[in-house]
Structure 1
């Protein structure tokens, strides 16, 4: 049954929402850390569990354990790498970008922020980030978007993120319905006052990197395909390096765990689920 609400009720609900938003924004640090320094700090060889170079157009998946770090780096030129993830112990729990945005009152993911699951738990902490230009709104490419964007090219030969993730999920024993919305790393998408998306290439440079700490055991999938808004008319994604780094326990004053009340609650949910 459809319930028709009065203008006064709608206005009251909006006022409560805006007050809740104001409190949330006021509780957030006025300034999270700036961008991470470049070049990225070197990694001791004995701490590297695995290093994978994902060719342009291809995909890769890996299992990670809690407190391991994934360094994703643009060592060979610019490219957008899309990411999805599932809880390794229960794949019905998965990456949830809408909740990540709503809970933290921002679409800007950068150093000090966290990424939530659909169970209100923290999946990743962004412990280092040299660019802060990542897309949580548009999503990855599809066969249709490739066909429109690369007119006249050999469509079937141009791999896309949606099909890559279907293959990846199938190999993990999952279905395409299990694929969550993808986080696009190194995708400099910005939204103007009119709600229009814009691609800002100056925000990403070769040598940029992101360090994502896993905050639970996970299956993580990647797809290295051009972003739908990337204006380059040539399909030419560069290889992206993903380095899996040995786990080390975060400190008690770990930035991502303490920066915001929302993150604190998320980590409390992680601890409760582990009991």
Structure 2
């Protein structure tokens, strides 16, 4: 069984990488490891796709939001797959809003990174835009609009992998933003010990099912 997460675990350094602005990057992450993203400049955006290492489980944004009664990604949420399993848990963040409604900028960055692992355009599913926020515009269509000045250099978000994963990251600007691309630092670590944050019942069930399968 994968150990669970504390808000401030003691971590053992494993891997650190800086992803410049307007670049794509990918990496495997073992179950139980944490991934911390740090904005290197104001207005950074980190678009992330997530696929289980067995290639069966894909991040399902509608199920993740619906089951946890949210329209945003925030700390204390489990990122669920299309089979209802836990891919990762958001254990901490300096921001309480990460966009997952507007998708990725169609700049081919994520698609090019996916092809390195044998995936294609059909695998370019819904994603999370870490460090970005959108709101409803004051227009007749109630369209979504990008919220400027939401994220600043030094803002962080930490995920715990709840099963072996492949993560894909693009630092292209948010699709609704006119701000320049900014870099993001990625730190993958092995926690000495972690406990689950407070979660909704649906999220706890997804974690339990996942741990039963990978135990």
TM-score normalised according to structure 2 size: 0.88
Contact 1:100–1:115, Cα closer than 8 Å, also in 2: yes
The within-5 A match list for 1:107-126 is 107-126=71-90
Which consecutive residues of structure 1, in runs of 5 or more, have no partner in the other structure? 1-35, 143-159
Which is richer in helix? 1
Larger Rg: 1
What stretches of structure 1 move > 3 A for 4+ residues in a row? Answer: 41-44, 192-195
CA distance in 2, matches of 1:192, 1:263: 31
- What corresponds to 1:20 in structure 2? none
- What corresponds to 1:211 in structure 2? 158
Counterparts in 2 of 1:195 and 1:122: CA distance versus 1, 3 Å? farther
Matched, 1:223 2:188: no
Contact 1:66–1:247, Cα closer than 8 Å, also in 2: no
Matched, 1:263 2:207: no
Which is richer in strand? 2
Give the C-alpha shift of residue 43 in structure 1: 7.5
Give the C-alpha shift of residue 42 in structure 1: 10
- What corresponds to 1:80 in structure 2? 45
Contact 2:9–2:194, Cα closer than 8 Å, also in 1: no
- What corresponds to 1:202 in structure 2? 149
The within-5 A match list for 1:115-264 is 115-142=79-106, 160=107, 163-191=108-136, 195-232=142-179, 236-251=180-195, 254-255=196-197, 258-264=198-204
Matched, 1:61 2:29: no
Matched, 1:106 2:63: no
Contact 1:92–1:178, Cα closer than 8 Å, also in 2: no
* SS of structure 2 residue aligned to 1:244: strand
* SS of structure 2 residue aligned to 1:269: helix
* SS of structure 2 residue aligned to 1:246: strand
- Aligned Cα root-mean-square deviation (Å): 2.1
Which consecutive residues of structure 2, in runs of 5 or more, have no partner in the other structure? 1-6
CA distance in 2, matches of 1:219, 1:68: 12
Deviates more, 1:197-206 or 1:59-68: 197-206
